[in-house]
Amino acid sequence: MKNKNIFIAILINLFITASEAVIGFFIGSLALVSDAVHNFSDVGAMSLSWWGEKIKEKSNNKYKTYGYKRAEILIALFNSLVLLGVVVFIIFESIDRLFNPEEIAGGAMIVMALIALIGNTVATHLLERDSHRNLNLKSAWLHSFQDALFSLGVVVGSVLVYYFHWYFIDPIISILLSIYILKEVYGLIKQTVDILMESVPVDISFEEVKAKLEKLPKVMKVHDIHIWQTDSVNRYLSTHLEIEDVVNGERNQLLCDIQDMLDKDFKISHTTIQLVANINQGGCNLKCSHCN
């Protein structure tokens, strides 16, 4: 099985999520419930990574010329919005519990937290083996690594509840964990919306790309440049360039130079470039009054 490690990691996190949610509900621990939510978010992230590895092998067709790359983004946005609602609910419940604390079975909380910590550590180790293959699998490994640290925080809180009976620490941990999750959810929502809005990738400077195109030999002006991505990997660029009047051989070399520069400097491998000689600009009716 090609993606065996990530599949096993998903099963481990599903077991941890279910166990923490059930035990946390019965012993009244919002810290365990909030940690279960965080584990569930990692299950979603890992599932998207696993699905991405599968779906990328499916070729495009005449109806879906980009293939199925955007499905990953749509699912990620849906999952993050659902998670946002759950986290907000936990925060309100935690605030209420902070002012109305209840006794919690600290021993059971410690046992469950240790089980989660061990499970997350194993899952992180499995994912680390494949993290070098691509950024998709590396992001799954980072999610699991963060989750292992998250479980460690719950263990610390459990010990404080068990030995010192600081029951107020449970809602405090829940609030802190929820704030951390909110930060992650916000980042995920922002990334998915940016991709759906065909924004320029965050690590690419629009002005730098334009400046490097303008510096190329034979290029006179750069018009109507667009940079976007369909998922976390594939990046696209389209532009209209005014160039000097050149022969076909020089035109082809210029096109190769442009594509090599974009791929090397900005990891943009899909390009649509319109080359028009300056003397033909008016004849082609390309006034570019609408250009960015």
pLDDT 10s digits, 40-82:
877 888 887 788 778 877 888 888 888 887 777 777 777 778 7
From residue 73, how far is each of 48, 58, 70, 230, 267 by CA, in Å?
A: 9, 16, 5, 8, 20
pLDDT 10s digits, 156-165:
777 777 777 7
Write out the two tokens for 213: 């195109």
pLDDT 10s digits, 267-285:
998 999 998 887 666 555 5
The per-residue pLDDT for 237 is 96
The residues with which 223 forms a beta bridge, in sequence order, are 240
Tell whether the model's pLDDT for residue 200 goes beyond 90: yes
Tell whether the model's pLDDT for residue 286 goes beyond 60: no
The structure's pTM equals 0.73
Amino acid of residue 54: K
Domain boundaries for CATH 3.30.70.1350 within the chain:
206-280
Please tell me whether residue 275 adopts helix, strand or coil conformation: strand
Please name the residue that has the structure tokens 């002005």. Answer: 207
- Report whether 237 contacts 262 (CB < 8 A): yes
pLDDT 10s digits, 229-258:
988 788 999 999 988 887 777 888 899 999
**Architecture of the domain made up of 206-280:** 2-Layer Sandwich (3.30)
Tell whether the model's pLDDT for residue 287 goes beyond 60: no
Tell whether the model's pLDDT for residue 100 goes beyond 80: no
The per-residue pLDDT for 260 is 94
Tell whether the model's pLDDT for residue 223 goes beyond 60: yes
CATH ID of 4-196, from 2.40.10.340, 3.20.20.70, 3.30.1280.10, 1.20.1510.10: 1.20.1510.10
Please name the residue that has the structure tokens 């802190």. Answer: 176
- Computed over every residue of the chain, the mean pLDDT equals 80
The per-residue pLDDT for 64 is 86
- Report whether 119 contacts 20 (CB < 8 A): no
Domain boundaries for CATH 1.20.1510.10 within the chain:
4-196
Residues 18, 24: Cα–Cα separation, whole Å = 10
Tell whether the model's pLDDT for residue 292 goes beyond 80: no
